[in-house]
Amino acid sequence: MRLILEVWRQESPRVPGRLEAYEITDAREEMSLLELLDRLNHQLVEENQEPVAFESDCREGICGTCGIDVNGVPHGPENNVPACGQHVRSFADGDTVRIEPFRAAGFPIIRDLIVDRTGLDRIIQAGGTVAVDAGTATDADTLLVTHEQAEAALDFAACIGCGACVSACPNGAAYLFTGAKLQHLALMPHGKMERGKRARSMIAQMEHEFGPCSQIGECALACPAGVPLSAIATLNKERLRALLRRKDN
Amino acid sequence: MTHESASAPAKKGAAMASTDLDALRVVGREIDGNVPDAAPDAAWDDRKLHYNLVNPSNRRKFTVIVVGTGLAGAAAAAALGELGYNVEVFSFHDVPRRAHSVAAQGGINSPRARRVDNDSIERFVKDTVKGGDYRGREVDAFRLGQEGVRVIDHMQAIGAPFAREYGGQLANRSFGGVQVSRTYYTRGQTGQQLEIASAHALSRQVAAGTCHLHSRQEMLDLIVKDGRARGIVVRDLVSGTVRAMTAHAVVLATGGYGHIYYKATLAKNSNATAIWRAYKRGAYFANPAFVQIHPTALPLMSQWQSKKILMSESLRNDGRIWAPKAKGDDRDPNLIPDAQRDYFLERRYPAFGNLVPRDVASRNIRERIEAGYGVGPLKNAVYLDFRDAIDRLGAKLVRERYSNLFDMYNEQTGEDPFTTPMRIAPSVHFTMGGLWSDYDMMTSIPGLFVGGECGWGYHGANRLGANSLLSGCVDGWFTLPYSVPSFLAGQLGEDVLPLDDPAVRQTVADVEGRIARLLGGGGVHPPDYFAEKLGAILDRYASVSRDPAELPDAIGQIRALREQFWRDIKVIGTGDRLNQELETAGRVADYLELAELLVLDALDRDESAGAHFRTDHVTEDGEAMRDDANWTFVSAWEAPPEAGPGAGKPIRNYEPLVFKAVPLQQRNYK
Amino acid sequence: MSSPTPAPPDRDPIPQAARPATTPPPWPQTWILKVIMAVTGSIFVAFLLFHLAGNLKVFLGAEDFNHYAEWLRTLLNPLIPGSGFLWAFRGVMVASLVLHVYSGTTIWLRARRARGVHARKFLLRRIGSRTMFWTGLIILCFIVFHILDLTMGKVVAAPGFDPGDPYSNLIHSFSRPPVAIFYGLTMALIAVHISHGIWSVVNDLGGTGKRLRNVVFAVAGLIALVVVCGNLAIPVAVQAGILTVG
């Protein structure tokens, strides 16, 4: 089938970008959107033009490397699916598909569709960790964790760190990401030890680089890992808890 | 094993080989694995007792470079940082957590032996050694089992939410044909949870200032001076700048090279450049031909499909594998009556049926496809059919067991396995081979260590399911933090190599020269063109089975392709900025060299072992037949000397393998 | 356990990934603003329900309505003399309003900055949440109008305003069609604003329980519906001639 791709081209962070239109005449329904970009790049290279720079790695939905905005929606038209699992079959023959980088002030563009998402990593560095050194941990079987609690922790730990939540958010907020981490670690036996301290430091770092939450809910619709919106309430709960308890745990 | 018997393989290899083989390689010397002189189960304790220590106040004076932030790399960096060493961490990703360890699904083995199913460390060693067809070190497997016990404790503590029983204890299950339950898991995303936990532990050290993270930096060469690893040369993937960093020791944890087959289950960016550059600088490469091929991956369905995706092996518990009895039968599978279906695994292996080991299943599926019975648009798959399971168990139970896999299949193909049989095909997904290392994880270049899949350890000729996550964790958390400091201890007071040292400058110049050469190619074909061609050659000659009569042909084709590459390569853009074509081109250039060594090793190893199936070494039942008398050793390939009698020919050194706890035995699955 | 050891510059020419900030983020932090908005917003919702209950007394006739207005003025007499309570109450309302508007505006400005130059596509999902600033701004204007009209009797009030006869003031004001329409439209906006506002309260104050969240989500809609229907009934009744002076 035939598709018109309007792709964001930007040489570097310092120069302005623009949308450029390309035509793909042999797109196939079973192609993923990343494969569609592969196809486009193949075509560009044949014409001796610079291919579109975009990121991807595992291409099976778990590494969180890929990230593009498709017609203004992070990852693509299907909710809760990463770009590598979004397919051309979502579009009709002759459609125009606009492909842009993830959009947020916290994600500066490096080149074309590649953005800098290390801001999320700095939130982790600020406190999304557990202070247990190698070899010092106690026997995991002596720490009882209910089945339900382990499953709940996994619901939030499933975050693949792609940044779609930030890009989906009209406020450029990283609440879903940060809340998911806080909730995941708050449910873990060792993670509980630094619960208060973690909430203070991670949220402070988050506020440095990302926007405020207005409870819009776009993030949870975009999230490829299906992190529930309640992660946002968790973030506020953890922060208020830290305020009221005034303790590290 | 005595010295006489150890040197026998060299003679044997030479005697068996045709003149072709002698023209291709030189048989080298016996090398020493530096294995402790103690009983295998006491070896690790013995070695730890003999390791040198570094005073805590001196640790920050030592700089260690860690390349890669997967399970092994992130763990080694974090653990060394926790101890107080100055660690420089490099990753070509934007953030550490994206390393391909995330994609492992099934679980992580640990012989904690809490159940009464009679598991033990010894049994784990037996399973690992036998599973690897006796081509790995038994003592390594002991360390893997012994340290594996506390890996679970540590990973749980730093954030991996392992599945729990209703009683609150860790849940585990049996996996990959093992008869005991020793696999711990977090739903179908064990790799992802372990990787996130390790990357977070690394982040903690980054915040503490012990680890310095350099992201979007790709290692392109190793700096060696006076026979010691002294640093690395990296390219900044954003600015294109090539720079060096020197250190007291270098740890490579850069993953496997399976992507050399072009469309494998590996991530798009996984590559062999770091280990191949180390090989070129003098590190030995162990068993490059040992490549595991997984039977149940999604096949390629179109030219543009970018990679294959692994579907869990568990599908074979209830799915039945078949191909049409008639060649080229392209009817809707549901319209093919039972009488016209060939359930070939059940037919050939009545006892194990669809549950034969990975390599056997892969070979048989491949045989059907090549014989013209393949299905799907590219005729490159067979059916994995759940019709009978649904009839027998009901759709509800089948959904409970496999819903996430069925959803994944549906997401990728748009077909529903409940109504249409799945199409599957074998795919490369793990490389047992890698840089050779001694018992301390140090390569043949002093100061250069390896961890995880980029090394060769533990798995021999075939890796057991759920052992790869374990090996990454054990290497990074509980082996390198002991062995690297012991190496550093001897260098107290020595400074790292200055950046203006001639050895550093030369290595940087070499890298810059290589980049310039790639950019100045003839400009006909992009790098992917060559990667695809190379993948096709390897797939044809050196995948599920290897025919010694054809392998020299493969080498000729690879050499021709390599020549064409340097003549015709087209890299659009420049080197002074983010250029993904250039990145790919450099990786493909290294694959084109590694591929020849892979095929050469397959030709050289005159036996079948595990995943290495030689068509001239087959039992009466069609199984792989080892030649223990002559080939119970690790091939450790040394880069060809530039001059002298063997110029241009790789040297195959060998480390004899000794089995004390698990006596040599032939595999049998009939 | 380990001290930071920054490598000297000549040893480290390779860029490092940036580390977390060492300074505190802009004050007050957003989560504090959100808590302020949740608390003050809750006060307004409680006031709205209270106000609605009072308003509906208009249907009981002038005497009851004016008696209720007088009761309000003299509430807690003689403990607090005169209109003391009413003024204290007004003080709380004004303070809440100032805090609510300040927090909301600050959040809105921060959101615009964090969004970057590329506006999101309007996906028509949760329309209330995306329009909070604008509905809030119109409601603010309405509050000013409403106080001038019916409390102070200045500028926009209907002719013949009598501080002692709130009932007649109300009927006269709503007899003007533009005022009735403006009032009705504002009520619709208030419904949109508070339905999202109440739902936000549970999030901003950290309500994570599944049942709690479902209940609040439903209650938010219900309260919005009650407020809009109850309050709309009055101008409709006036325009329909059901409520008249005398």
pLDDT per residue as tens digits for the range C203-213: 999 999 999 99
d(Cα C76, Cα A111) in Å, to the nearest integer? 68
Which of B60, B234, B236 is the closest to C5 by Cβ? B60
Place C13 in a pLDDT band, splitting at 50, 70 and 90. Answer: confident
- Same domain, yes or no, for B209 and B301? no
Predicted confidence at residue B616, as pLDDT, reads: 95
**Domain final residue, candidates A93, A111, A129:** A111
- Same domain, yes or no, for B468 and B588? no
Predicted confidence at residue C1, as pLDDT, reads: 39
Predicted confidence at residue B410, as pLDDT, reads: 85
Which of A203, A216, A233 is the closest to C207 by Cβ? A233
Nearest CA in chain A to B304: A35
DSSP C121: P
- Same domain, yes or no, for B484 and B612? no
Amino acid at B481: P
Runs of H (alpha helix) within B500-615: 502-519, 527-541, 551-568, 580-604
Q: How far apart are the CA of A120 and the nearest CA of chain B, in angstroms?
A: 9
pLDDT tens-place string over residues B564-604: 999 999 999 999 999 999 999 999 999 999 999 999 999 99
Predicted confidence at residue C10, as pLDDT, reads: 44
CB A83 within 8 A of CB A57: no
- Same domain, yes or no, for B323 and B177? no
Domain that holds residue A199: 118-245
CATH of the domain at A212: 1.10.1060.10
Mean pLDDT throughout A98-108? 95
Best residue in B86, B93, B239 for a mutation probing chain C (most C CBs within 10 Å):
B86
The total of structural domains in chain A comes to 2
Predicted confidence at residue B177, as pLDDT, reads: 65
Predicted confidence at residue B106, as pLDDT, reads: 81
Predicted confidence at residue A64, as pLDDT, reads: 96
Q: Does ipTM exceed 0.90?
A: yes
Of B299, B248, B305, B291, which Cα lies nearest the Cα of B463? Answer: B291
CATH of the domain at B424: 3.90.700.10
Strand partners, B86: B63
- Whether pLDDT at C233 is above 80: yes
**Domain final residue, candidates A53, A78, A111:** A111
- Same domain, yes or no, for A126 and A49? no
pLDDT under 70: residue ranges of chain B: 1-19, 176-177, 667-670
Asked whether the beta carbons of residue B210 and residue C13 sit closer than 8 angstroms, the reply is no
pTM of the predicted model as reported, rounded to 2 decimal places: 0.94
Q: Is-catalytic flag, B358?
A: yes
User: Is residue B587 included in any domain, yes or no?
Assistant: yes
- Same domain, yes or no, for A62 and A158? no
CATH 1.20.1300.10 corresponds to the domain C28-115+126-239: yes
Of A65, A34, A60, A82, which Cα lies nearest the Cα of A227? Answer: A82
pLDDT tens-place string over residues A199-246: 999 999 999 999 999 998 999 999 999 999 999 999 999 999 999 999
Residues 472-491 of B with CB under 8 A from A: 477-478, 481
The total of structural domains in chain B comes to 3
CATH of the domain at A106: 3.10.20.30
Cα–chain center distance at B235 = 24
Place C3 in a pLDDT band, splitting at 50, 70 and 90. Answer: very low
- Same domain, yes or no, for A171 and A63? no
- Same domain, yes or no, for A102 and A191? no
Tell which phi-psi region holds residue B395, choosing left (phi > 0), alpha (psi between -120 and 50) or beta.
alpha
- Same domain, yes or no, for B236 and B284? yes
CB B447 within 8 A of CB B249: yes
Q: Is the peptide bond before C81 cis (omega within 30 degrees of 0)?
A: no
pLDDT tens-place string over residues A59-91: 989 999 999 999 999 999 999 999 999 999 999
Asked whether the beta carbons of residue B214 and residue C14 sit closer than 8 angstroms, the reply is yes
User: Is residue B638 included in any domain, yes or no?
Assistant: no
* Residues from chain A contacting residue C125 (CB–CB below 8 Å): 216-218, 221
Predicted confidence at residue B230, as pLDDT, reads: 97
What's the mean pLDDT when you consider all of chain C? 89
Between helices C84-115 and C132-146, what is the axis angle to 10°?
150
Predicted confidence at residue B2, as pLDDT, reads: 37
- Same domain, yes or no, for B602 and B509? yes
**Domain final residue, candidates A94, A111, A128:** A111
Residue with the larger pLDDT of the pair C140 and C4: C140
A–C interface: beta-carbon pairs under 8 A:
144
Q: How far apart are the CA of A1 and the nearest CA of chain B, in angstroms?
A: 14
* Residues from chain C contacting residue B214 (CB–CB below 8 Å): 14-17
* Residues from chain B contacting residue C13 (CB–CB below 8 Å): 243, 245, 499
- What are the strands of the beta sheet with B217-225, ordered from one edge? B217-225, B228-236, B242-246
- Same domain, yes or no, for B135 and B58? yes
Best residue in C12, C14, C22 for a mutation probing chain B (most B CBs within 10 Å):
C14
d(Cα B262, Cα B258) in Å, to the nearest integer? 8
pLDDT tens-place string over residues C178-218: 999 999 999 999 999 999 999 999 999 999 999 999 999 99
What's the mean pLDDT when you consider all of chain B? 92
Nearest CA in chain C to B243: C14
Runs of H (alpha helix) within B269-427: 273-280, 344-348, 358-368, 387-393, 395-413
Cα–chain center distance at B599 = 16
- Same domain, yes or no, for A165 and A223? yes
- Same domain, yes or no, for A236 and A128? yes
- Same domain, yes or no, for B193 and B312? no
- Same domain, yes or no, for B248 and B303? no
- Same domain, yes or no, for B202 and B349? no
